[in-house]
């Protein structure tokens, strides 16, 4: 990925110059912490925050973008119930609740994407994200992709949990989509290890 820079795009809030990599449609202002989605050359505000690294590792620390898909899910009909749903809903109500999906917004292999999304969504490890003065680039998936991937993760987790499941109907409502920068270490073998759960991809 090259560091190609588009010319003369300034932050709408503080007027600092923004660095936008080719193909990126989301940008983060490191000066004031504002996030923008670029829609038809217009900068639309979007919430962007970062997670602190919880583990130490060899390698340079970089940040990769995830979608935080804040949703409300209602189970309309199901033949078998798995523990995972209860966990995601916080153990209070089996049939509906809020789920925050962590969906990689950067390009990675489908198996890695599913692994990261599944483990981060199940553990919900970033309770209070913060503003960092850090670079966040390499957005490969947009909002509509993130919504579809959230449903894919939800269905695949539910299908894995209950082998007797025959019918499963649900309603997923998307309340908000934000961006979260997750720390990764660049390992010497070229792979990446996240700084929160320690997953190597
Ligand atoms: Zn700014």
Q: pLDDT at position 20, please?
A: 81
Alpha helices in the chain (DSSP H): 83-88, 110-123, 143-161
- Please write the tens of the pLDDT for every residue from 37-61: 988 888 999 999 999 999 999 999 9
> Domain range holding 96?
47-194
Could you tell me if residue 3 is inside a domain?
no
Could you tell me if residue 121 is inside a domain?
yes
φ, ψ of residue 100 in degrees (nearest 5): -100, 110
Could you tell me if residue 8 is inside a domain?
no
Could you tell me if residue 13 is inside a domain?
no
CA of 12 from ligand 1 middle (Å) equals 7
Confidence label for 2 from pLDDT (cuts 50, 70 and 90): very low
Could you tell me if residue 42 is inside a domain?
no
Could you tell me if residue 32 is inside a domain?
no
Q: How far apart are CA 36 and CA 29, in angstroms?
A: 8
CA of 39 from ligand 1 middle (Å) equals 18
CA of 60 from ligand 1 middle (Å) equals 26
Domain tally, the chain: 1
Q: pLDDT at position 23, please?
A: 76
Confidence label for 36 from pLDDT (cuts 50, 70 and 90): very high
For CA atoms 191, 192, 198, 200, give the dihedral sign: negative
Residue 182, strand partner residues: 64
Could you tell me if residue 11 is inside a domain?
no
- Please write the tens of the pLDDT for every residue from 117-150: 999 998 999 989 999 989 898 999 999 999 999 9
Ion ligand 1 — residues with CB < 5 Å: 11, 13-14, 16, 29, 31-32, 34
pLDDT for 164 beyond 70: no
Could you tell me if residue 65 is inside a domain?
yes
pLDDT for 1 beyond 50: no
Range among 11-20, 70-79, 104-113, 161-170 rated most confident: 104-113
CA of 37 from ligand 1 middle (Å) equals 13
Q: How far apart are CA 130 and CA 108, in angstroms?
A: 24
- Please write the tens of the pLDDT for every residue from 66-80: 999 999 998 887 665
Across the range 90-107, mean pLDDT stands at 81
CA of 119 from ligand 1 middle (Å) equals 33
pLDDT for 163 beyond 60: no
Which among 54, 56, 57, 34 is positioned nearest to 44, based on CA atoms? 34
CA of 18 from ligand 1 middle (Å) equals 8
Task: Count other C-beta atoms under 10 Å from residue 55's C-beta.
Answer: 12
Q: How far apart are CA 21 and CA 27, in angstroms?
A: 9
């Amino acid at each position: 990925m090259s560091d190609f820079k588009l010319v003369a795009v300034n932050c709408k809030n503080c007027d600092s110059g923004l660095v936008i990599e080719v193909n990126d449609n989301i940008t983060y202002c490191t000066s004031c912490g504002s996030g923008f989605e670029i829609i038809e050359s217009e900068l639309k505000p979007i919430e962007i925050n970062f997670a602190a690294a919880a583990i130490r590792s060899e390698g340079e620390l970089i940040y990769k973008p995830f979608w935080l898909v804040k949703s409300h899910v209602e189970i309309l009909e199901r033949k078998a119930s798995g523990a995972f749903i209860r966990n995601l809903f916080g153990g209070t109500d089996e049939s509906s609740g809020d789920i925050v999906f962590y969906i990689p917004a950067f390009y990675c292999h489908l198996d890695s994407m599913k692994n990261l999304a599944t483990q981060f969504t199940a553990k919900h490890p970033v309770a209070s994200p913060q503003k960092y003065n850090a670079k966040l680039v390499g957005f490969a998936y947009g909002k509509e992709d993130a919504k579809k991937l959230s449903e894919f993760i939800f269905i695949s987790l539910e299908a894995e949990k209950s082998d007797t499941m025959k019918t499963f109907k649900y309603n997923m409502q998307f309340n908000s989509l934000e961006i979260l920068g997750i720390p990764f270490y660049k390992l010497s073998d070229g792979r990446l290890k996240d700084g929160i759960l320690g997953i190597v991809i």
